[in-house]
Amino acid sequence: MSLVHLGCARNLIDSELILGRLADEGLVVSGDPAAADTVVLNTCSFIGPAREESEARIRELLKRKRKGELKHVVVAGCLVQRFKRGLMKRFPAVDLFAEISDGAALAKSIRELSEGKRINRYLESPGLREPARDAARLLSTPRSFAYLRISHGCDHTCAFCAIPAIRGTHRSKKLEDLAGEARELIDAGVRELVLVAEDSTAWGRDFGLELPRLVETLADLEGDHRLRIMYAYPNRFPWELTRLLRDHPRVLPYLDIPVQHVATRVLRAMKRAGSGEQVRKILDRLREEVPNLTLRTTLLVGFPGETEADVDELVEFVRTYGIGRLGAFGYSPEEGTSGFELVERVDEDEIDRRLGRVLAARDEVLAVGQQALIGRELEVVVDQPADVSGEALGRTWMDAPEVDLIARVAGEGAGSGLAAGDVVRVRAEGLDEEYNLRCVPVDVHA
């Protein structure tokens, strides 16, 4: 059998938990869906394009089943959690649907399915997942990094976002549980712990703590590891965190802080806390207190009522703040959100055009920033060993895995035999067409 993962890093952890439970049931998991007789699809349902991709994958798998290339198709995760049993009517040939859970019941049902036993075709979630320590995962990431989920759910009511309806309200995992999970990952040789949540900066507030306490605890664990913080909601920012970002040798001076927009009228329509001026003040203070900080953000373009002037403000923001590490996506009306009821919709073609403007500004910033690195010596962690061309792929500490830029390291000299998780000192010699660094190794250590 095999598992196909779609969606974000938080969903990837769910996929790894499912894999762990499948192994507990004695099932053999293949990394090649084409060679498996049962495929589990862990779906995403964040926005329209993600939902469309999930449904397209379901249809693709069912087509293979009709051809006799697959025996069983299993659909799990966010899409099922959101649309419940309605999916059974739309895709009656799917053998098993499962809402979000710890994966144990799902794995047991898949084993019984493979044994030819009759099963309940729909597995309901037992309720909001408890913020307990995650069970053993089968990591699908290389030794260079692994995701560590620090909480579940979100208390914000952003008008465009269906995540609270899917994942529930915010629940922090306990400090000691997270330290235990981190310890296991470090002992397994993981080089970089990437902290993720729906809202990382809310961690601990439900029991009187703040995120810096967790970050310092994990950073102080013995081992050769680093921490990276993703999905930090900008409002009520825990400012003690800047000391760690600036001074702690194991906390990378990098912060993913999704601001979504900077036009105040749009932020208020989105039901985001604060104003455009407050967003800028937060970023100004972050850069003042952490001079070498790399910022990443996410912007949402085309929310109902957005004007060309609002997009001008976004483009100017990207250029002024020099934010090249940037994800941008077009607005998708989602059922169950307050934005779904808004009638002042922006045409899809217009959204694409506006999105193109924002991404063009991002690329201008990236080109300048990456060009400035040419000729410098940098430290790179290897994510993917050398392929047949002899080129290994890695990242500088300025880049988060899977969402930011990569460094292409020529496999010669000190770079020969590079393995995932190795750290190599390189000299940047040029850029590829997507602004990724082309490097030659200078020194390497495991």
The answer to whether 73 and 62 are in contact (CB under 8 A) is yes
pLDDT at 48 (0 to 100): 80
Round to whole Å and give the CA distance between 263 and 300: 11
pLDDT at 166: 83
What per-residue confidence (pLDDT) applies to 412? 63
Amino acid letter for position 307: T
Tens digits of pLDDT across the chain (446 residues): 889 988 888 889 988 988 888 888 888 887 777 778 899 999 988 778 888 899 999 999 999 999 999 999 999 989 998 888 889 999 999 999 998 877 888 999 999 998 889 899 999 887 777 787 887 888 999 999 999 999 999 998 889 988 888 888 999 999 999 999 999 999 999 999 999 999 999 999 999 999 999 999 999 999 999 999 999 999 889 999 999 999 999 999 999 999 999 999 999 999 998 899 999 999 999 999 999 999 999 999 999 999 999 999 999 999 999 999 999 999 988 888 888 888 789 999 999 999 999 999 999 999 999 999 999 999 999 999 987 778 999 999 999 999 999 999 997 655 567 889 999 999 999 999 999 999 999 876 65
Alpha carbons 8 and 54: distance in angstroms, whole number: 13
pLDDT for res 164:
84
DSSP 19-55: HHHHHHTT---BS-GGG-SEEEEEE--SSHHHHHHHH
238 DSSP β-pair partners: none
CB under 8 Å to 433, separation ≥6 — which residues? Answer: none
How many other CB atoms sit within 10 Å of the CB of residue 58?
20
In the chain the domains, ranked by start, together with CATH numbers, are: 2-123 (3.40.50.12160), 145-371 (3.80.30.20), 377-445 (2.40.50.140)
Neighbour tally for 373: CB within 10 Å? 16
124-127 contacts, C-beta under 8 A, 24 or more apart: 124/99, 125/81, 125/99, 125/100, 125/101, 126/101
CA distances from 28 to 20, 23, 91, 110 (A): 11, 7, 26, 12
Strands (E), 46-185: 72-77, 96-98, 122-123, 145-149, 151-152, 171-172
Q: Which of 20, 25, 300 is nearest to 160 (CA)?
A: 300
Which pLDDT belongs to residue 445? 66
Nearest to 339 by CA among 50, 77, 47, 43: 47
* Amino acid found at 418: L
CA atoms within 13 A of residue 416's CA, in its CB half-sphere: 3
Distance of CA 61 to the CA centre of its chain: 24
Question: CA–CA separation, 308 vs 314, rounded Å?
Answer: 10
pLDDT for 444 equals 67
305-312: long-range pairs with CB below 8 Å, 24+ = 305/265, 305/266, 305/269, 305/342, 305/344, 306/261, 306/263, 306/266, 306/331, 306/346, 306/354, 308/354, 309/263, 310/261, 310/263, 310/265, 310/266, 311/354, 311/357, 311/358
Residue 385 burial class via C-beta count within 10 angstroms: exposed 0-12, middle 13-18, buried 19 and up:
middle
Taking the C-alpha atoms of residue 139 and residue 155, their distance in angstroms, rounded to an integer, is 29
Residues 256-277: b if buried by 16+ CB within 10 A, e if exposed: bbbbbbbbbbbbbbbebebebe
Give the other-Cβ count within 10 Å of 247's Cβ: 10
